[in-house]
Amino acid sequence: MKLLSIRSLVFIAMATWCNQAAAQTPTVAWSEALPVAGIYGPAHVIYNGSGYLVAGTCGANGKDLSKTRLFALQTNQSGQVLWNTTYPTACKSPDCLVEVAGIVPSRADCFVLVGSYKYSTHTDSHDNAWLMKMDSYGRRYWYMQFGTAEAGLENNYHASSARYLPDRSLLVSGQKGIKAWMCCVDANGQVKWSKTYDAEKIVSMELGSQYQVRAAALSYNTTRCSINVLRISTLDGSLDTVEGVIECPAKNFYDPVVTVTNDFNVVYSIFNANSGDCTISQFNRDTLLQWNRLLNNGEESRPYTRVQSLLSNGSQGYLVAGDKSSNATVVDPVMWVKYIDKKGATVWEWKSSPVTSVCDAIFNEDNEAVLIAKSDNVKTPFQIIKLQTAAPQLTAVAKASVHTVKTPLENSIADAYDVTGRKISASNVKALSRGVYVYRTIQSQNRLMQVVIRR
């Protein structure tokens, strides 16, 4: 038996395979309730190879927020909880709210939670940022805090995002006082440098190289909000340049949800509280507008559309999730999730009435959407949901593209599909029967897509 591979067919068939799979309306592959009571505020999720890591705050008891605790849990690939743990917080006041801003995966199966304490009284309102590093079972390595419980702008820190550097240092960004802020923390939680910038808060960042980071920082004036695109040195936090300024609509709009992509586009979605309109816009690395789209889709029954999560999927597109309601107070929200390509076209959309809002949405390594969602069911208020599209299919084979591969591939196969889109099982390439297949191989921890003809 000969093993033939198709060099140009890889691109043709994989494009067909991806387009046909994405064109389908997603269905729920599985949904599992999170065994955490009294979840308060946002919850976040990341995929870490063995399953899904979820973190947030829980234990809120009415208006007494001092009982709020941090939680983290790990699920397997099917959403079943493997371990679940909670942590006490530094909040001792009933007016103190703990929020988790995100989860940062680290090397050696560790992870870091980043978030803020919010103190709010009749006379004062300020934030303190915090970091907590844990191992793969949720056991705490170290904890650190920026700012104190005392009032004053010099003590006000708010964390919005974090990224690991190649040397295992951690970049943390957000707001200090009334200025945008970024700091670098080493692997043991010690601050290496801390800087502020002429904007109000950094809301997203992406590493440009080992020594540079591109950050999106919000600024405000009396009429509108703007996004300042900054290039910052990761060595000492110095500002290399302001690459551009993106002007957002007038102030009757809420703060934009912003992401900086790995190809350095800036994408933001913004909600107009007066009209209920919600738009998404993409700007290139020179901060020039490439496209602008309305997310409402003309649904008159629920025109108020808000975006809660905006994630870039590399060069593929964007996973956008939020809720829709019939008025600005979100009385009857419906959760929705969209996958939008790099040109702003909606590839697929999914929505669910029993689940009323989404906290976070990600892609796993197979480009399947996974959500943390909130429902009206008081017994299981929060769920983890995985969506999937129909099985991929191959539609065309060009004989002129076929050439012989002398050395058979011996990599183990993770997933394989036949020409009808049916998923099949095969331990390696030699085990495949005659036919045309798309399969995913595992090689040196990387997953590669291949198209082969076996005859």
User: What would the pLDDT profile of 362-419 be if each residue is shown by its tens digit?
Assistant: 988 888 899 988 766 656 668 899 998 754 443 333 333 333 333 344 445 555 555 4
| pLDDT score, position 228 | 94
The overall average pLDDT reported for the chain is: 75
| pLDDT score, position 9 | 42
| pLDDT score, position 15 | 43
| pLDDT score, position 25 | 81
pLDDT tens-digit map of 40-68 = 667 899 998 889 999 988 765 555 556 67
Residue 439 has pLDDT above 80, yes or no: no
Is 205:216 a contact under the CB 8 Å cutoff? yes
Is 30:78 a contact under the CB 8 Å cutoff? yes
| pLDDT score, position 12 | 40
Percentage, residues of the chain above pLDDT 90: 25
How many other CB atoms are found less than 10 A from the CB of residue 79? 20
pLDDT, average across residues 118-144:
79
Rounded-to-integer distance, Cα 179 and Cα 162, Å: 17
Percentage, residues of the chain above pLDDT 70: 64
336: pLDDT confidence band, cut at 50, 70 and 90?
Answer: confident
The tokens of 274 are what? Answer: 């007066």
Ranges 238-252, 306-320, 345-359, 421-435: which has the least confidence: 421-435
Rounded-to-integer distance, Cα 439 and Cα 445, Å: 16
Residue 343 has pLDDT above 80, yes or no: yes
pLDDT, average across residues 283-296:
89
| pLDDT score, position 193 | 96
| pLDDT score, position 194 | 95
| pLDDT score, position 354 | 63
Element (H, E) at 9: helix 7-22
Element (H, E) at 14: helix 7-22
Q: Name the range with the highest mean pLDDT among 91-95, 190-194, 355-359, 371-375.
A: 190-194
| pLDDT score, position 421 | 53
| pLDDT score, position 282 | 93
| pLDDT score, position 201 | 93
Angle at 134 between CA 129 and CA 138, to 5 degrees: 120
What distance lies between CA 376 and its chain's CA centroid? 24
Q: Read off the pTM.
A: 0.76
Task: Render the burial of 48-70: b for 16+ CB within 10 Å, e for the rest.
Answer: beebbbbbbbbbbeeeebbbbbb
Ranges 69-73, 119-123, 317-321, 450-454: which has the least confidence: 450-454
Residue 246 has pLDDT above 90, yes or no: yes
Ranges 122-131, 149-158, 287-296, 421-430: which has the least confidence: 421-430
Give CA separation, 438 vs 22, 415, 421, in Å: 16, 8, 9
Q: How many CA atoms lie within 13 A of 70 on its CB side?
A: 29
Ranges 71-85, 200-214, 401-415: which has the least confidence: 401-415
pLDDT, average across residues 259-281:
84
Q: Is 439 exposed, middle or buried (0-12, 13-18, 19+ CB in 10 A)?
A: buried
What distance lies between CA 446 and its chain's CA centroid? 21
Ranges 341-350, 409-418, 442-451: which has the least confidence: 442-451
Ranges 10-24, 309-323, 379-393, 395-409: which has the least confidence: 395-409
